[in-house]
Chains A and B, each alone.
Chain A
Amino acid sequence: MQSRRTILATALTASVFVAAPWAAAWAADDAVLVPCVCELSGPGAVSGTNYRDGAHIAVDEINAAGGILGKKIDMPDYDTQTDPQTSRALVQKAIDAGAYAIMGTVYSGSTVVNMLVAQQAGIPQFTGAEAPSITEKGNAYIFRTASSSAKGVPALTAYFKDTLKVKKIAVAWVNNEFGKGGHDVFINEMKGAGIEVVADVPSEQGQADFAADVSKIKQSGAEAAFVYVNEEESARLLREAKKQGLTIPLVGEVTLTGQKVIDLAAGAAEGALAHVGLATSAPDPLIQEFVKKFQDKYKRDTDHNGIKGYIGVYAIKYVTEMNGKLDSQALADKLHGLTLKVADHPGMLLDTSWDKNGELSRPSFMTQVKDNKQVVIGMVPAN
């Protein structure tokens, strides 16, 4: 009796293992698998969650309109916990599951690690990360959904030199892959513009106390400060700056005027400036339509990361339909040197181009926090 039960249990277990690959194959045939490997917890949760949620809006729209080449998009979510090694394992898991393309990751520190896995497998990856090094490594399968700081930070040089007319400047940056990339570009840009960097203040990811950082900036005699840290740290720095009465212009790239930063800073973000590749406050009907969709679906505001996720999925759809086949290699090949005009591809929200390295170009915005809202104060042409 015991042995019969054992045989039955063994047979049942074996049947499950034998059936599993068939089930996976069936699922792969029936849908276009585009996993979202994102920072859903840990320090990058704000960025990753918005990126994921923006991507899912695009998936829902595309599926409702018939999918890609008649197949629905299947987008499972994988949480990297903002840990590079976890993200690497999850990208491998996504590839093993039969991914056609991968959305994410958003943090540069994770992307530089996990993109090698997707590169080896030949799977296109759409990252929200902005460190310049990502598209400088000759990886033919990595594509940005936002410009790198190598493109974004230079857009600020003219603002510091011509608009603010500063001679001395401070830089506060987060000591991770994202921050180091932006910091190095910034230092070179200031050298070229003849602006002296009088305070160079690194901070740690997750740092809570910015008293020393702000004090150093204040004592340095800088006429403006470039702030290049992640969302939560931006809020803490702004609060400390307000507390210590730091009155010089605080100018950021991307994060400083994001809605999450504004909410967390509790009034301390007022007047902060930032160049952003994508702005939810941009007076553009397509962007405003997306922002409303996001609010309706999730009952909260998004930042630029929501837009990144949205256009990433639409880029996959448009280029795949141009190719006429679900071929990951063809998708990667086609994207290099491609421009998607918003007139023909409204899901891109803005005219968007990728170069041979996967770097992205499109018009961008100067923004400022006014009345606790991000307001676009100028447009910067694509560079």
Chain B
Amino acid sequence: MSEFLQVVLSGLATGSIYALAAIGFTLVWQAAQTVNFAQGEFVMLPAFFVLIALHWLGWPLWAALAFGLVISVLVLGYLFKRLIVQPMLPSTGLPLIIATMALSILLKEGAKQFYGAEAQPYPPLFPQTTMSIGGAIVSMQDILNLVVSLAVVVALTLFLNRTRTGRCIQATAQNPQVAEILGVNTRRMVLYTFLINAALAALASMLISPVYLAKFSNGETLGIVAFIAAIVGGFNQIRGALVGGLLIGVLDNLTATYVTASYRAALPLVLLIIIILWRPQGLLGTSEGRQV
């Protein structure tokens, strides 16, 4: 029983961070009707911003984290939207998808050239102390990763549903033309969405890098897992991305423990196929009509 609890709790902690990255897919999909294939690199890069502030500028950790967050929002939110998304938005979705693929390569190779190919140690945000829960040993880091991720998702959901700006963002996502007629500044709402996505990616990066270590190639795995989590949960629902992330994190550990460690990486893909066959809109997603 303690083993079961151990792997479930660890899976939840990792899965909650996948969820933060997966929400990015959902937000960008709703704002620009496109898939951001650089999302994994969006989670990889902020860790290096923090390391630059720590090691090159010699700043304390809290200031380095703030620096990482601000630069991420500026580069991965504002500049991404202005330089890549906005000019390509009038054309159909495919060029933009290809552009995000190119951006993913650019960010990955850029991080490698600038900071090196080796993994870098990354300071933990939370104490490394452990506690026993039902025989399972869990670190404060795991618990706080889970708590922070869930809190952020709840806060984001409340923001989108309970505030005027949040409802304007939702209106823009659902039907930008109608939203504009109703007086919503849709361009600003789209920009807000990209800024929120960048902030979430930065947070995910800061939470996961103490475990993953900071490395230029981290986005490859994270991007794929988060993409699958978003599809499994429902690509157009934030709570779906949360459920998808947690599900993959837990099932990955359970598979490795009780079924096979050799094929654990295949599990998310098997899950993806089953969900798409059974419920194409994802576990919590809603069907979207498309006209041909």
Contact = CB atoms under 8 A, between A and B. Distances in A.
Contacts of B257: 212, 215-216
B119 A232 contact: yes
Nearest to B142: A243
B117 A244 contact: no
Interface in B233-250: 249
B246 to A, nearest CB: 14
A42 B221 CA distance: 13
Interface string B98-126: 00000000000000100011110100000
A373 B86 CA distance: 52
B265 A204 contact: yes
Contact of A260 (B118, B128, B253, B264): B118
A248 B219 CA distance: 34
A213 B166 CA distance: 42
Interface majority SS (helix, strand, loop, mixed), chain B: helix
Contacts of B253: 209, 211-212
Interface string B125-154: 000101000000101000000000000000
A120 interface: no
Interface in B192-236: 211-213, 215-217, 221
A212 B117 contact: no
A232 B215 contact: yes
Contacts of A213: 256, 261
B130 A243 contact: yes
B118 A215 contact: no
Contacts of B39: none
B34 interface: no
A199 B277 CA distance: 36
Contacts of A218: 3
Contact of B119 (A40, A211, A264): A264
A40 B212 contact: no
B117 A206 contact: no
Interface in A88-129: none
B263 to A, nearest CB: 10
Nearest to A172: B261
Q: Which of A201, A211, A264 has the most CB of B within 10 A?
A: A211
Given A41-B216, A42-B117, 18 more contacts: A40-B117, A41-B117, A45-B116, A46-B119, A49-B118, A202-B261, A206-B217, A209-B252, A212-B253, A212-B261, A213-B261, A215-B3, A215-B6, A219-B3, A236-B213, A239-B211, A243-B128, A264-B119
13 contacts: A43-B217, A45-B116, A175-B262, A202-B261, A203-B261, A208-B211, A209-B14, A209-B249, A211-B253, A215-B7, A216-B3, A263-B121, A266-B121
Interface of B: 3, 6-7, 10-11, 14, 112, 116-119, 121, 128, 130, 137, 139, 211-213, 215-217, 221, 249, 252-254, 256-257, 261-262, 264-265
